[in-house]
Amino acid sequence: MTYNAQRALELLRFGSGRADATFREDQEEAIRHLVDGRGRLLVVQKTGWGKSFVYFIATKLLRDGGSGPVLLISPLLALMRNQIAAAERMGLHAVTINSDNTAYWAQVEARLARGEVDILLISPERLANERFRTQVLAGIAADISMLVIDEAHCISDWGHDFRPHYRLLERIVRTLPPNLRLLATTATANNRVMEDLAVVLGPNLDVSRGDLNRSSLALQTIRLPSQAERLAWLAEQLAALQGHGIIYTLTVRDSDQVADWLKTRGFNVEAYTGKTGDRREVLERALLDNEVKALVATTALGMGYDKPDLEFVIHYQMPGSAVAYYQQVGRAGRAVDSAYGVLLSGEEDSDITGWFIRSAFPTRQEVADVLGALEEEENGLSVSELLGRVNLSKQRVDKTIGLLSLEAPAPIARQGTRWQLTAAALSDGFWERVKRLTALRDREHEQMREYVSLPFGDHMGFLIRALDGDPRGVTPPVLPPLPITVNGALVRDAVAFLRRTSLPIEPRKKWPDGGMPQYDIRGVIPADHQARRGKVLSVWGDAGWGELVRQGKYHAGRFADDLVAACVKMVREWNPEPKPTWVTCVPSLRHPDLVPDFAMRLAAALGLPFLLVLAKVDVRPEQKTMRNSTQQARNIDGSLALNGPPVPDGPVILVDDMVDSRWTLTVAAWLLCVGGSGVVWPMALSQTGHDE
């Protein structure tokens, strides 16, 4: 097919909405390369360069010439939404098949069959779906004119663990006709990533690589160890910053917390995370239309989110690598003369990143546990059945199964809802890859620690070198640095904010599958034997009260009076009805006095009697050593009992120090109700567990 330069320029001007638009350096050459069918191409260009114009214009030219549809692999729904909108501006018919639009699958498939679709967007996980492969992909495979892999660095940076289905692309690419057009695009590819992509996408991969310098960005790092200091800094600087932007956090919990804090200071912000659900598109549009000052987001908002006039990107914590940071901060300053990219860092950064690195792959013991359980069952096990056999969390089981099933050859395979062993053994190459990638991520984390310590003006050059680019064109930042000090009064307000938050304890309404054999109970828990919706004061070890709880449990051996006062305040604000008339607590053989001492002081402060009516009758492993809900329930089964004295019939506050699975509180509440108490209001000092 012959490239039509005049038509390509018309499409650029039509798609951009600018009658004077011209191609950027290397942009037209990339389009020509694809249309002429010169081979596979990797385009590495900074955010805002216009990589999407390359594949959309190439798609339009191919379709105008009678070629078949284009298949685009894209990592995030937010990115797909932007891509579909951009494609439609180009006059293309773009559709997606994903987990959020199941109601439209039949309609999309019918349009594909009729040849009405120019470009089909899917996630890499869709390639593992048997129905998609057999009923959709098989029908159009012979006609596909081009495969586009957007954000191709995910093959290297995510495909080994977080998004293991990216590894399927390697197998799919190997089966493609040699002359099928293939385009991979990314803004962030250092030499290590490019070497990975050459392995996956083929040795004859042409590369178009541009300048990484972002002269509009004023990059800065500010070390503020405590979360309260960073919250105070955000509240002070957000009032002075022009325009609109994104504030990135490492966890869902932090996104929610930072957004809540800024709302209390009068800012129009919203949290955006993997748990935002149906509101994601609404929030994306709100930022696009400048209806919010900022979105406080995890990496759920990132790649491909297209708001060229963002004037700041602030990181509340340090990302794990230069590749990730460059990708995220590159959201800002694309269509404005200057923008801020500020990285705040604190004392929890390394703990969170370290946890992500350590949990990225299953351990040898986790793999052995899963394979051992499957070996004992000829017909295989479902995930829920596996959870009853192995002391691993569902997340760890899913991670282990997901990675093992994508090995080639795979030691396990899925049959319906069950997983079974295959004849293949897990190769040593799997563990070599785990070791190599873990060491690599440790090095990249250390590189970011170096970045944090740089003086103002040195950051862009450092990032470009980290991405194996040429830093010689870097110029000093246009904007002055932002203040690095914080307002003392705002810090005190932030501390008070962190200490006033509380979280719900949702009651369990069913016993685990198989019931509780020692108590001889199973199925639905009768409503009058369930705990009510309770309260927990803090998150374990977190800013606010969580660190004080940790100190009390493992260092002081006694919970501080400040925690008693905080719980009194929480109970009074909670104001449960019917009102509690007495207090009890969950007993412990390991720390027999810790929780009773706290519960007695709490009861006295509330003006209520304290009665210890529960006893621990059997030594069991600590609940924190149980890794999934089924194992946690079995660990409690038969271990608690009423200790003899009459149980008062009034409503009761049931106190424990920690809550995770809620099985301890569920069993304790059931025993109290069976013993004749009134309604049970569970309360704990801290909630444990990790988040996104």
- 683 beta partners: 535, 655
Distance between CA atoms of 512 and 520, rounded to whole angstroms?
12
Average pLDDT on 21-48 reads 93
Which residue pairs from 174-182 have beta carbons closer than 8 angstroms and sit at least 24 positions apart in sequence? 176/147, 179/37, 180/144, 180/145, 180/146, 180/147, 181/34, 181/37, 181/40, 181/58, 181/62, 181/145, 181/146, 181/147, 182/40, 182/41, 182/146, 182/147, 182/148, 182/149
List pLDDT tens digits, range 269-290: 999 998 888 898 899 999 999 9
Asked whether 661 and 623 are in contact (CB, 8 A), the reply is yes
Do 261 and 167 fall within a single domain?
no
> 316-342 burial, b for 16+ CB within 10 Å, e for fewer?
bbbbbbbbbbbbbbbbbbbeeeebbbb
- Same domain (yes/no): 505, 543: yes
Tokens representing 232 are 């105070």
User: What pLDDT digit, counting tens, does each position of 323-358 carry?
Assistant: 889 989 999 998 899 999 999 999 888 888 998 899
* Residue 162 banded pLDDT, cuts 50, 70, 90: low
692: pLDDT confidence band, cut at 50, 70 and 90?
Answer: very low
Contact 687, 657 (CB under 8 A): no
* 8 A C-beta contact, residue 655 and residue 583: yes
Same domain, 463 and 403: no
Q: Residue 541's domain is classified under what CATH number?
A: 3.40.50.2020
* Residue-number span of the structural domain to which 391 is assigned: 357-433
Q: What pLDDT was estimated at residue 95?
A: 92
In the chain, the number of structural domains is: 4
Query: Dihedral sign, CA of 586, 587, 593, 597?
Result: positive
Round to whole Å and give the CA distance between 324 and 330: 10
| Residue 68 falls inside a structural domain | yes
pLDDT in tens, 215-274: 999 999 999 999 999 999 999 999 999 999 999 999 998 999 999 999 999 999 999 998
Contact 183, 43 (CB under 8 A): yes
What's the CATH number where 198 sits?
Answer: 3.40.50.300
Alpha helices by DSSP H, listed for 180-251, are: 191-201, 227-238
Instruction: Decide if pLDDT at 689 tops 50.
Output: yes
Give the pLDDT band of residue 304 (cuts 50, 70, 90). Answer: low
Q: What is the pLDDT of residues 525-584, one digit of tens each?
A: 999 999 999 999 998 877 789 889 999 999 999 999 999 999 999 999 999 999 999 999
Q: What is the pLDDT of residue 157?
A: 58
- What confidence tens digit (pLDDT) does each residue in 408-450 have? 899 999 998 999 999 999 999 999 989 988 998 899 999 999 9
Output the average pLDDT for the chain.
91
Q: What number is the average pLDDT over the span 456-479?
A: 93
Residues 155 and 16 grouped into a single domain? yes
Say if 495 falls within a structural domain: no
- What three-state secondary structure class fits 685? strand
Residue 343 inside a domain? The answer is yes
Q: Which percentage of the chain shows pLDDT scores above 90? A: 66
Instruction: Report which secondary-structure segment, H or E, holds 496.
Output: helix 488-500
Same-domain check for residues 467 and 523: no
> Is 440 a domain residue?
no
**Is the pTM for the entire model greater than 0.85?**
no
Per-residue pLDDT of 170-183, as tens digits, reads 777 877 777 789 99
Q: Are residues 367 and 343 in the same domain?
A: no
> Could you tell me if 266 and 382 lie in one domain?
no
Q: Are 185 and 153 in contact (CB under 8 A)?
A: no
Give the end of a domain, one of 169, 184, 209: 209
Distance CA 584, CA 611 (A): 5
- For 103, the token pair is 């109601």
- Are 44 and 154 found together in one domain? yes
In this structure, of 41-45, 115-119, 166-170, the range with the lowest mean pLDDT score is: 166-170
Phi and psi at residue 667, in whole multiples of 5°?
Answer: -70, -45
- Residue 363's pLDDT is 95
